């Protein structure tokens, strides 16, 4: 397929294919400490920083940016263990039980897929576009579909594009950026029960979707670069 250049129209034969079906991107890699409560249940997750962020980024909390299928690493955790379910804003269930228990256990997460679609844009910050569902000759990456649980956030992978945000029936959902003083400011707000589309940009750490109420928000990101 032809190289994509911003601001330059491209004509090709055959014509470009439709956009792929949205699916969740995996990432970024996060480290921190947690409590293995019992069996395969992990509670009180305390991320320290996304790996590669210099150890200074602390805005991630609980299960922010964790998705089902993401690899989970740590002492006493069988190799190949993944996140099976996300139970709440602070707990997940793993696909295999850890052999240790108690608080303060170090963990890290990792992409569940080793490579990206050759038709997608390479992303930084550990976010990985899935292979499943790729559409050859589509000019867009596979849209990134994320469910954002009550009282959690989704930090958008680096890039820009269009976001389609569906707010829960009870509370407005917001697209925010972090100012240099550490405060989060709203760029766009979507009313409870409403759906809105808007352009977004992100550096991977300082732009997020914030679900501050009850219910689950859904966001689909159509990334253009």
What residue segments make up the domains of the chain, in order of their start?
30-110, 144-223
Query: What pLDDT shows up at residue 22?
Result: 81
Mean pLDDT of 99-127: 62
Q: Would you identify the CATH topology of the domain 144-223?
A: Jelly Rolls (2.60.120)
Position 175 confidence tier, pLDDT thresholds 50, 70, 90: very high
Whether the bond between 28 and the residue before it is cis, its omega within 30 degrees of 0, is: yes
Which of the two residues, 73 and 137, has the higher pLDDT score?
73
Q: Say yes or no to pLDDT of 89 above 50.
A: yes
Phi and psi of 50, rounded to 5°? Answer: -65, 135
**Residue 46: band (very low, low, confident or very high) from pLDDT cuts 50, 70, 90:** confident
Predicted confidence (pLDDT) at residue 140 exceeds the cutoff of 80: no
Residue 92's pLDDT band, with cuts at 50, 70 and 90, is: confident
Percent of the chain topping pLDDT 90 = 20
β-bridge partners, 147: 218
Q: Is the pLDDT confidence value at 161 over 60?
A: yes
Provide mean pLDDT across the span 171-189. Answer: 91
* pLDDT confidence of residue 10: 52
Element holding 217 (H helix, E strand): strand 217-223
pTM of the model: 0.74
d(CA 43, CA 60): 15
């Amino acid at each position: 397929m032809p190289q994509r250049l911003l601001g330059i129209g491209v004509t090709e034969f055959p014509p470009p294919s439709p956009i792929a079906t949205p699916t969740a991107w995996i990432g970024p890699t996060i480290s921190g400490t947690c409590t293995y409560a019992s069996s395969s249940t992990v509670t009180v997750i305390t991320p320290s920083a996304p790996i590669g962020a210099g150890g200074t980024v602390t805005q991630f909390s609980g299960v922010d940016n964790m998705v089902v299928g993401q690899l989970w690493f740590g002492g006493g955790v069988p190799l190949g263990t993944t996140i099976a379910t996300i139970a709440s804003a602070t707990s997940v269930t793993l696909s295999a039980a850890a052999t240790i228990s108690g608080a303060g256990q170090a963990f890290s997460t990792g992409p569940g897929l080793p490579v990206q679609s050759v038709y997608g844009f390479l992303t930084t910050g550990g976010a990985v576009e899935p292979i499943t569902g790729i559409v050859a000759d589509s000019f867009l990456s596979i849209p990134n579909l994320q469910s954002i649980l009550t009282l959690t956030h989704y930090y958008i992978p680096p890039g820009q594009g269009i976001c389609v945000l569906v707010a829960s029936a009870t509370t407005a959902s917001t697209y925010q950026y972090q100012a240099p003083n550490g405060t989060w400011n709203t760029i766009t707000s979507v009313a409870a029960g409403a759906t809105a589309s808007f352009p977004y940009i992100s550096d991977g750490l300082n732009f997020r979707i914030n679900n501050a109420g009850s219910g689950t928000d859904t966001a689909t990101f159509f990334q253009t670069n």
